[in-house]
Structure 1
Amino acid sequence: MTLHYQFIDGDRTLAPLLLLHGNGGTERDLLPIGQFIAPDAPRLAIRGREIEQGETRYFRHLPDGTIDFANLDTETTWLLNTAAALTRKYQLFASRMIVAGYSNGGNLAIRAMMTQPLPYRTALLFHGKPLGPLDQPKLRPHTLVWASYGTHDPIVSQAEFATLQAQIQTAGGGLTTFTHDEQHNLNFSELQAAKHWLAQSGRLKEESL
């Protein structure tokens, strides 16, 4: 199977971005968003390899609509291994990498960060929700997470967003949230808030740990 990804180099003194698209997306979708929130940072975007109902995804569902957790585990391993290999190829610092995911991609990423010993400790989650309950979620020490939500989102309910917040806080993450009164869409004020948070976090220019 062909690997679809895109790498855009940038200022190597800045932390690189790992960009993960939403349902039906491609590796190109979040590149402009990455450029907006961190204009000079290197950007790595990887396309999910699952196709469900004609839409590209990072994992699939069972016929009844519930998550196929076996597939989720398989695809999480594939994505993490792929990201690690590309990180080595382009000589990026994994411990500095900032994960930015929209919907499907962000959901997988934060679940992986809370259940596996990954190097990542900074994440921006656009319209994320939890992928099932987690018994003992744990993030790397000093992990910072920014998460957004639309109050009229037909895909992510208020209860689901609250559960995601609780999981992140239980896992020890420092959490900042942003809410707008729209749906599952991204808007300019949301992207501005993400950009401001990332700049203020210090993570873009912080040295590798």
Structure 2
Amino acid sequence: MAKDAYVHKVLPGKPGGPLLFVFHGTGGDENQFLPLGRDFVPAATVISPRGDVSEFGATRFFRRTGEGVYDMDDLARATGKMVGFVEAHAADAGASTVLGLGYSNGANILASALFARPSLFDAAVLMHPLIPFRPDISGSFAGRRVLVTAGRRDPIAPADLTEQLAAGLRGGGADVTVEWHEGGHELRANEIEMARSFLSEAAQRRPDPAVFRQSTDRTANGR
């Protein structure tokens, strides 16, 4: 059954309230972002799947053949599986809003699910994603909101690829905000606070697909 496709944990929230899916980074597990998810959206039911791929003992959501080199067949497999998992939980819960948050490898599988099914999430936070390929977006992101957070000096997810991802999402109709810090692949306070504010606001409203809001770029100092 798709709801049980992954080993996962659920923190129940308000009945009929938002669903927040959180996706760990390489080497993490289903516990990594559960507390953050609860903190960000207290009323949400937080669902955290564990990646089903092991890379020398480190858990991931899909295979790769080297740093920044993805096994595209396995990414396609993982994307279809994740889309089914999210859809099954959303349908069962009758959620008012479906939100997503992922870091690093978790951001990558979340982004790939977005490409495959733009209507899957009402809003999503991609923290330090790496998309080293031109995505094929299957539909329109109109009315959907995406926050991308990144480090200007990230050696794993280069800034130019972050900017290309944001541009691609905007080209598909998404309302995209980019929050930068001046460091590398680590999470910093400004992006944590931006994610908190973004998800809290997103949980309060259901996006109107007919409305397109102009996307914005933000830097760590607000420019």
- 2:150 equivalent in structure 1: 149
Alignment map for 1:34-183 (pairs within 5 Å)? 34-62=37-65, 66-89=69-92, 91-93=93-95, 96-116=97-117, 118-135=119-136, 138-183=139-184
- 1:186 equivalent in structure 2: 187
Evaluate the alpha carbon distance shift between residue 4 and residue 170 of structure 1 in structure 2; reply closer, same or farther with a 3 A threshold: same
- The SS at the match of 2:65 is coil
Is contact 2:144–2:207 with CA below 8 Å preserved after alignment? Answer: no
Q: Alpha-carbon deviation of 1:171?
A: 1.2
Q: Alpha-carbon deviation of 1:198?
A: 2.5
- The SS at the match of 1:149 is strand
Question: Which of 76-85 and 123-132 deviates more?
Answer: 76-85
Question: What is the root-mean-square deviation in Å for CA atoms of aligned residues?
Answer: 2.4
Q: Alpha-carbon deviation of 1:122?
A: 0.8
- 2:18 equivalent in structure 1: 15
Q: Alpha-carbon deviation of 1:72?
A: 0.6
Q: TM-score, normalised by structure 2?
A: 0.82
Is contact 1:108–1:131 with CA below 8 Å preserved after alignment? Answer: no
Tell me the percent identity.
Answer: 26
- The SS at the match of 1:154 is coil
Amino acid at match of 1:121: D
Evaluate the alpha carbon distance shift between residue 140 and residue 2 of structure 1 in structure 2; reply closer, same or farther with a 3 A threshold: closer
How many residue pairs get aligned? The number is 205
Is contact 2:150–2:181 with CA below 8 Å preserved after alignment? Answer: yes
Is contact 1:114–1:171 with CA below 8 Å preserved after alignment? Answer: no
Q: TM-score, normalised by structure 1?
A: 0.87
Q: Alpha-carbon deviation of 1:104?
A: 0.9
Counterpart Cα distance in 2 of 1:111 and 1:38 = 23
Counterpart Cα distance in 2 of 1:16 and 1:136 = 23
Evaluate the alpha carbon distance shift between residue 163 and residue 36 of structure 1 in structure 2; reply closer, same or farther with a 3 A threshold: same
Counterpart Cα distance in 1 of 2:13 and 2:32 = 18
- 2:214 equivalent in structure 1: none
